[in-house]
A and B are shown apart, each in its own frame.
Chain A
Amino acid sequence: MSRAERRPSMAERRNSFLSSPMQSVGTPLVVPHLAGIEDPLPDTTPEKVDVLIAGTGMVESVLAAALSWQGSNVLHIDKNDYYGDTSATLTVDQLKQWVNDINSNSSKCYENAKLYISKTLSQRNKYQSRDFGIDLSPKILFANSDLLSILIKSRVHQYLEFQSLSNFHTFENDSFEKLTNSKQEIFTDQSLSLMTKRNLMKFIKFVLKWEEQPEIWKPYTDRPIIDLLLEKFKLEREQIFELIFSIGLCYNLESKTVGALQRIRRYLTSFDVYGPFPVLYSKYGGPGELSQGFCRSAAVGGATYKLNLQLVSYNPTTKEATFNDGSKVKVEEKVIMSPTQTASDSKNVPDQPYEVHRLTCIAEKSCSQWFAEGESAAIVVFPPNSLKSNNRQVVQAFILGSGTETCPAGTSIWYLSTTETGSRAELDLDAALEALEVSLIRETSTEFENENGILEFGPNGESIINSVKLGKSFKEYIPRDKIQFLLKLYYTQYTSTPVFDVVKDEFFNRKHDANQELLIPGASDNGVIFSSMPSAEISYDEVVTSAKVLYEKIVGSDDDFFDVDFEEDEVPTGSRTAPVEYENTFEEDDDEDIEMSNSNVEEAVGEMEI
């Protein structure tokens, strides 16, 4: 098949038992796998497939579902015995195994995994391994985002439960400031001067339609957004930091204007889509759950799933793929592989030059004081220079409580990450962790020492070395003061996607342009297209773009990416256009006429008219 040619749609390819999905009104149609009695599924791997995908991470799973519904015959494998790969949600036991694997194999993907498990957890009296669901790359879902639309369109959302997250905290001057993130709060916030309120509202009005006003931002295109906020909008440092780091979730003060404006708008247009919060997350685990959902969707669409299977080699001439169990399959079109899934003779894995440093902790504290009422999660952002370590890059923390069903009552999971590089990164993460701890135990705290890390304290205050790598024995460590950590995990993840960016089409073309594939003698992965590792991005925003780029490589166009039209019943009621109360409000004119619903707020508006 030529590259430009569009593949036949699913309806065209499978009209033996499927007619057009549009025909569903009143016509009994059969779900493919419910046709089991007529066409029993074989217990052997198929001999021939259109596409082989190795790795069940987020991007690969979305791709598998998109391809399956488009009509491609997909074999989707994973070398692990669980779903999710780079996006997995793991139990404690699985996490131990994962750390072991990272440390015993050199890979371009992960490095320096250090796992500490407390005696309380390892003894298994109070907690079981499967009480916890620990994400390798935790993510939040903006209410107004491409992935959310795909979740609805594909119906994968029916496999999932979503919860709201409204609390975004900014760490400033050794304390947490809850984000002033709604216009009501902006008006009622007593600490904001009238001028600041006015300037802030002006900026919010601008950012919602910033592209239409190039005269304002064009001169700042190549400059950091902070210049625009200072010079054009006369905002103060505190508001600027909230806008750039908490609302925009940018990584440093150098963040460029255009990218930052997009990110600030992302938050604002997501606010109030489903309620007074900008983001959601999935219960029972993040991308690990979503991956499972998309894999199930792909399976319903006809994909074959086989965990515990590794691609050992692929021959681009014969198109034969060989697996570690000795089986083989002929791949008619493309082999897509996550960099984590490679066999030993891989020589084509793209460089992964960007670092993401992560620190994941399970605390024996509910941390509910950080969550909004009825919620179980919060985001805490540590802007540059807010930490003892004089951090240059932001540290982002995503805190999940037991209401997310990823940890038992009375515990919480803290996911910290930074884009800082090298040894500074761990210092920043430790400093952020300490700041979180101090905040939690401020009332009872007496003294604080953290020079050598918290891993060196015995039951009676004597210091003991507990920093054992996995594979050796786990010794008890007793953290100081009130907060007991059940688990701590440090690791460095590498990616080919820089922050603030999404994967570029060219990335996949390096060795594949114009069919002039460069074959490396002896390599097991010639002709394989590698997917990208997750970036530092805390939202799911890169996923759909990455999956679409790969889809286009295989199908020839992304026109019918999830072009599925399931039957009329249970079709989502609301359309997914940018909704936002903000916009409605600002349709009105300027500051004077802002409509407010509750009386407190009206008072504040009155104040503004003075």
Chain B
Amino acid sequence: MNSNVTSVKLVLLGEAAVGKSSIVLRFVSNDFSENKEPTIGAAFLTQRVNIDDHTVKFEIWDTAGQERFASLAPMYYRNAQAALVVYDVSKPQSFIKARHWVKELQERASSDIIIALAGNKVDIVEDGGERKVATEEGQKLADEEGLLFFETSAKTGQNVNEVFLAIGEKIPIKKPNEHANNANADGSNDNNRVDITSSDNNAAAVSGCNC
């Protein structure tokens, strides 16, 4: 694997119908960088972003509807390095829900997770629709909780790429051989991971550390 590529698990959160999925679709399927189309059954969507001389590969986990009845699994939050919390600027209720998700992330996700807050559907306001959540309100929440903040439109694409770029810029770049120093106290290390899709009868399938 190219040592310049950092994989980042990003989880999406927000009330139903605020446009979480649309933001991701816009980001992933726009010809933002060379990439494949989203496909049925994808475990998660991926998109690569080039930042300076390295690449951040986002693995974007949709809630798949499991958030509706407070039924998100611990697996969803596990090892998430970034989260995108979305609300709809025309629905105050969705902003209240966004606060709830930020709190949820602080409780359930790892403490160094990077959280971005996105006030979506600003196109509605530009089309003369009524804004119910002021930009200042969003900015205030972001400042209080240390979040990145953008107002976006999945429909027009406004600020969508910018959100992901901003997250990517805050992701610590993985140094080559970093894993080698990662061995824990018991002598086992993070690299004892078996790729079950490569049964090539080869011990190399275990990406064990040979150093």
Contacts and interface: CB of A to CB of B under 8 A. Distances in A.
Interface string A1-33: 000000000000000001001001011111111
Contact of B39 (A29, A158, A403): A29
Given A284-B78, A308-B70, A572 B41 contact: no
A275 B202 contact: yes
A96 interface: no
Contacts of A374: 187-189, 191-192, 208-209
Contact of A299 (B65, B193, B205): B65
A129 to B, nearest CB: 13
Given A41-B68, A368-B186, A576-B199, A566 B42 contact: yes
Contact of A275 (B24, B154, B185, B203): B203
Contacts of A371: 188
Interface string A36-65: 110011110100000000000000000000
B142 to A, nearest CB: 23
B51 interface: no
B186 A409 contact: yes
A113 B24 CA distance: 47
Among B29, B63, B188, B189, find the residue whose CB has the most chain A CB atoms closer than 10 A.
B188
Interface string B133-169: 0000000000000000000001000000000000000
A248 interface: no
Given A36-B16, A40-B16, A292-B75, A30 B38 contact: yes
Contacts of B189: 374, 403
Interface string B13-50: 00011011110110001000000111111111100000
A143 interface: yes
A188 to B, nearest CB: 18
A37 B22 contact: yes
Among B21, B63, B75, find the residue whose CB has the most chain A CB atoms closer than 10 A.
B75
Contacts of A273: 199, 201
Contacts of A36: 16-17, 19-22
A250 interface: no
Interface in A476-518: none
B123 to A, nearest CB: 12
B107 to A, nearest CB: 10
A402 interface: yes
Given A36-B22, A274-B199, A566 B41 contact: yes
Contacts of A295: 66, 73
A146 interface: no
Interface residues of A, number: 83
Contact of B70 (A45, A152, A307, A566): A307
Contact of B76 (A26, A157, A296, A376): A296
Contacts of A24: 37, 39-40
A564 interface: yes
Given A366-B185, A368-B186, A31 B201 contact: no
B206 interface: yes
Contacts of B73: 83, 292, 295-296
A305 B65 contact: yes
Interface stretch (A160-168, A229-237, A538-546, A602-610): A160-168
A35 interface: yes
Contact of B40 (A18, A164, A409): A18
A582 to B, nearest CB: 11
A126 B183 CA distance: 21
A34 B194 contact: no
Interface SS majority for chain A: loop
A568 to B, nearest CB: 9
Contacts of B16: 36, 40-43
Contact of B193 (A40, A162, A366): A162
A27 B40 CA distance: 11
Given A30-B38, A158-B43, A159-B75, A368 B63 contact: no
A275 B21 contact: no
Nearest to A284: B78
A573 B41 contact: no
Contacts of A575: 199
A161 B37 contact: no
A41 B197 contact: no
Interface in A572-593: 572-576, 579, 581
Contacts of B65: 33, 41, 299, 304-305
B54 to A, nearest CB: 22
Contacts of B186: 366, 368, 376, 401-403, 409-410
A87 B25 CA distance: 35
A364 interface: no
A477 to B, nearest CB: 25
Contacts of A152: 196-197
Contacts of A304: 65, 68-69
B200 interface: yes
B1 to A, nearest CB: 14
B46 to A, nearest CB: 9
A479 B54 CA distance: 53
A306 interface: yes
A530 B44 CA distance: 32
A574 B76 contact: no
Nearest to A293: B75
Among B29, B40, B41, B193, find the residue whose CB has the most chain A CB atoms closer than 10 A.
B40
B2 interface: no
A29 B38 CA distance: 6
29 contacts: A21-B41, A29-B38, A31-B38, A33-B65, A34-B24, A36-B19, A37-B17, A37-B19, A41-B16, A156-B43, A159-B75, A272-B201, A274-B195, A274-B206, A275-B204, A284-B75, A292-B75, A293-B75, A295-B66, A297-B43, A305-B68, A305-B71, A308-B70, A309-B69, A368-B186, A567-B39, A573-B198, A574-B198, A579-B199
Interface of B: 16-17, 19-22, 24-25, 29, 36-45, 62-66, 68-71, 73-76, 78, 154, 184-189, 191-206, 208-209
9 pairs of A and B residues whose beta carbons are closest in the complex:
A403-B188, A40-B17, A299-B64, A574-B199, A572-B197, A158-B43, A36-B21, A34-B21, A292-B73
Given A83-B73, A157-B196, A274-B195, 14 more contacts: A31-B45, A33-B65, A40-B17, A45-B69, A83-B74, A155-B42, A155-B43, A164-B206, A280-B194, A293-B75, A305-B68, A309-B69, A374-B208, A410-B186
